[in-house]
Chain A
Amino acid sequence: MSGKAVIIGAYEHPGRDLPDRSAAQIHAEVASGALADAGLGRQDVDGYFCNGQLGFGAISLAEYIGLKNLRYTDSTFTGGSSYLCHVGHAALAVASGKCRIALVTQGARVRGIVRGPKLPPDTPEYPFEAPYGETNIGIYALAAQRHMHEYGTTSRQLAEVKAAAAFHAQYNPNALLRKPVTVDEVLASPLVADPLHRLDCCVVTDGGGAVIVTTPEIAAGLKRLSVKVLGHGEAIKHTMSGRVDMTYTAAVWSGPAAFKEASVTPSDIDYASIYDSFTITVLMTLEDLGFCKKGQGGAFAADGALRIGGRLPVNTDGGGLCNNHPGYQGGMVKIIEAVRQLRGEAQPEVQVKNCELALAHGTGGGISRLCSATLVLGRGDA
């Protein structure tokens, strides 16, 4: 598959608070945005990918958006990593000729709405976890606490992940939070679940985004600079029959698969979009993907590595921690910022020079059971 599929259109909804829109409307708006970016129309789309959370799988939205020529569909749902899975699956579909032009959309409307139960009561693990007041941040806090215990990771190191994101976000006019934040300010914010503070948590936003995946041949006839899908990996990790290890994610499997397919190594990567539901998510993922040794994520971040000009600029749009995390799912935005970097269209202050190889990574679910998905992307003309 490597290099046989490209991203030719990408669009992030500029809105973060959209009380007058429906989620379906946002899907339609981002579809139009990505198609316009690519120079394509609705009639050109023959593959459609979404997470299936709205309506009847992908069918309701295909109708609503006005996609009439669909011959391939996929509504894989893996939470926030869904969209990285979709791009991987779409790349395989166009590379094998199942479809020619695949559209992936995300649309969410959640702000000001109390989040309902995470799981329906007939989910097998529900009776053994939900009654204990399990929350998403509570579960990540358990992972952070254990990571601190095993590796000596500190709250200050976690806070630098937020401070780096905030540093980048000040240059993004659409970011929800644009004010720079210091490590001390993160530590001074209220604890939500020890050791995680309020500013260790991502934002909650409306909005979404879309990308278009096609073949290099079709992309050659279009005006925009394409981005090669060089590698893709995805993996599920769970509690392993009750022996959960919360110090690592499934990125230990999805990462090597993506790097192998792309025939590159972590040290080749110029820019990385790393899923940042919480600050601890970033540290663990950096370790699991091999950007630093296991347990050294905290020191890596504290060294300034994640900021523009650092060893590995991460989330130059401000990430989910400051910019955008639509509908509790940050994967689509992660892909779009990687596309911007490779096209040289990031905000000038945070554009990585000569960016030829980027990585985008998603983490969906909780940290006790999750799907990690990794994409290695390359500039189309490199």
Chain B
Amino acid sequence: MSGAELPVPIPPVAPEAKPFWDGAKSGRLMLPRCPQCSFVIWYPRQFCPECGQAPIDWFEATGLGVIYSFTVVRRGEGAYRDTPQYTLAIVELREGPRVLTNIIDCDAAQLRIGQAVRAVFCDAGESAALLRFRPLSVDDPG
């Protein structure tokens, strides 16, 4: 299943998360981190939900992670209604957060929990790109 076959719905971009979306647009994974308790926050917001600190800092993450869980959805809804099947997954980023995403450019039958993956960004309109992942390969050992 290649990335090109997947829908790329345009997410609503709120000012609060603009640094994340700007980063994604330029191919960089920008994450919010609490300057007080160092917690790496997901999903992005302008305060720390762990300790209440505001404002927060942004930093560039590695884009590396492992698959926490995955499934092949064979009955999509909404924008995915006409997509025969796609891989929905939760990836645990090296920096800690677990994010809902798609695994692309892969043979779904070969995927496994714990497998290493790298971030890829799929353009979604003028101000955002979707954070998706592809398996690490011999060419890209991470």
Residues 191-212 of A contacting B (Cβ, < 8 Å): 191-196
Distance A141 CA – B7 CA, assembled complex (angstroms): 21
Distance A286 CA – B128 CA, assembled complex (angstroms): 42
CB contacts (< 8 Å) of B74 on chain A: these are: 190-193
Q: Which one of A117, A127, A128, A132 has the highest number of Cβ atoms from chain B below 10 Å of its Cβ?
A: A132
Q: A241-B49, A242-B97 are in contact. Are A127 and B73 (CB under 8 A)?
A: no
Q: Does B8 contact A (CB under 8 A)?
A: yes
- A130 and B11 within 8 A (CB): yes
CB contacts (< 8 Å) of B76 on chain A: these are: 133, 135
Minimum CB–CB distance for B26 against chain A, Å: 18
CB contacts (< 8 Å) of A124 on chain B: these are: 43, 45
- B101 and A132 within 8 A (CB): yes
Q: Does B58 contact A (CB under 8 A)?
A: no
Q: Does A112 contact B (CB under 8 A)?
A: no
Chain B 39-59 per-residue mask, 1 if CB under 8 angstroms from chain A, else 0: 111111100011000000000
Chain B 77-115 per-residue mask, 1 if CB under 8 angstroms from chain A, else 0: 111100100101110000011111110000000000100
CB contacts (< 8 Å) of A156 on chain B: these are: none
Nearest CB to that of B13 among chain A residues? A127
Distance A149 CA – B128 CA, assembled complex (angstroms): 34
- B72 and A191 within 8 A (CB): yes
Distance A125 CA – B97 CA, assembled complex (angstroms): 14
Distance A242 CA – B49 CA, assembled complex (angstroms): 10
CB contacts (< 8 Å) of B7 on chain A: these are: 133
- B88 and A127 within 8 A (CB): no
Q: Which one of B42, B76, B86 has the highest number of Cβ atoms from chain A below 10 Å of its Cβ?
A: B42
Chain A 23-59 per-residue mask, 1 if CB under 8 angstroms from chain B, else 0: 0000000000000000000000000000000000000
- A193 and B73 within 8 A (CB): yes
- B75 and A137 within 8 A (CB): yes
Q: A192-B74, A246-B69 are in contact. Are A133 and B102 (CB under 8 A)?
A: yes
Distance A243 CA – B98 CA, assembled complex (angstroms): 6
Q: Does B4 contact A (CB under 8 A)?
A: no
Chain A 233-252 per-residue mask, 1 if CB under 8 angstroms from chain B, else 0: 00000010111101000000
- A146 and B113 within 8 A (CB): yes
Q: Does B12 contact A (CB under 8 A)?
A: yes
- A193 and B88 within 8 A (CB): yes
Nearest CB to that of A145 among chain B residues? B69
CB contacts (< 8 Å) of A134 on chain B: these are: 88, 100
Tally of A interface residues using CB under 8 Å: 38
Q: Which one of A122, A124, A145, A241 has the highest number of Cβ atoms from chain B below 10 Å of its Cβ?
A: A241
Distance A285 CA – B69 CA, assembled complex (angstroms): 19
Minimum CB–CB distance for B55 against chain A, Å: 16
Q: Does B121 contact A (CB under 8 A)?
A: no
Q: Does B138 contact A (CB under 8 A)?
A: no
Residues 324-379 of A contacting B (Cβ, < 8 Å): 368
CB contacts (< 8 Å) of A19 on chain B: these are: none
Choice from A133, A141, A190, A243 contacting B83 with Cβ under 8 Å: A133
- A127 and B100 within 8 A (CB): no
- B50 and A135 within 8 A (CB): no
CB contacts (< 8 Å) of A137 on chain B: these are: 73, 75
Residues 272-322 of A contacting B (Cβ, < 8 Å): none
Given A135-B88, A137-B73, list of 13 further CB < 8 A pairs? A127-B12, A131-B130, A133-B6, A133-B78, A137-B75, A142-B88, A145-B113, A192-B73, A192-B75, A193-B71, A193-B75, A242-B41, A246-B69
Write 7 A-B pairs (CB below 8 A) sorted by A numbering.
Answer: A130-B9, A132-B101, A132-B130, A133-B76, A135-B88, A142-B70, A195-B71
The residues of B with any CB-CB pair to A shorter than 8 Å are: 6-14, 17, 39-45, 49-50, 68-80, 83, 86, 88-90, 96-102, 113, 124, 128, 130, 132
